[in-house]
Amino acid sequence: MEIKVTKTHKVKFSVQYFEGTEGGMDAGSFGGEVDTLEEAVAMLERANSAPTISDKDWIIVASVKTTVS
């Protein structure tokens, strides 16, 4: 008997910030999800240079969706 299991990981990147507030947490995002890390780095640079939102601590967040078949 042979059983083959395949795992597929689909990774998307986004640029977001998270900060504590009184009684909770605030979060926001810049742009949408992208497929490559290079695109995410470029978006992070734009977020950090935008005059009205550059005071946030922007980070790149990876979202992983795993499929097992």
In DSSP notation, 2-18 reads -----EEEEEEEEEEEE
User: Which pair of structure tokens corresponds to residue 15?
Assistant: 């640029």
8 A C-beta contact, residue 12 and residue 53 = no
Q: What integer pLDDT is reported at residue 54 of this predicted model?
A: 72
Q: What integer pLDDT is reported at residue 53 of this predicted model?
A: 78
Q: What integer pLDDT is reported at residue 50 of this predicted model?
A: 84
pLDDT along the chain (69 residues), means of 10: 95 95 90 96 94 86 96
Closest CA to 19 of 61, 54, 44, 56: 56
8 A C-beta contact, residue 16 and residue 61 = yes
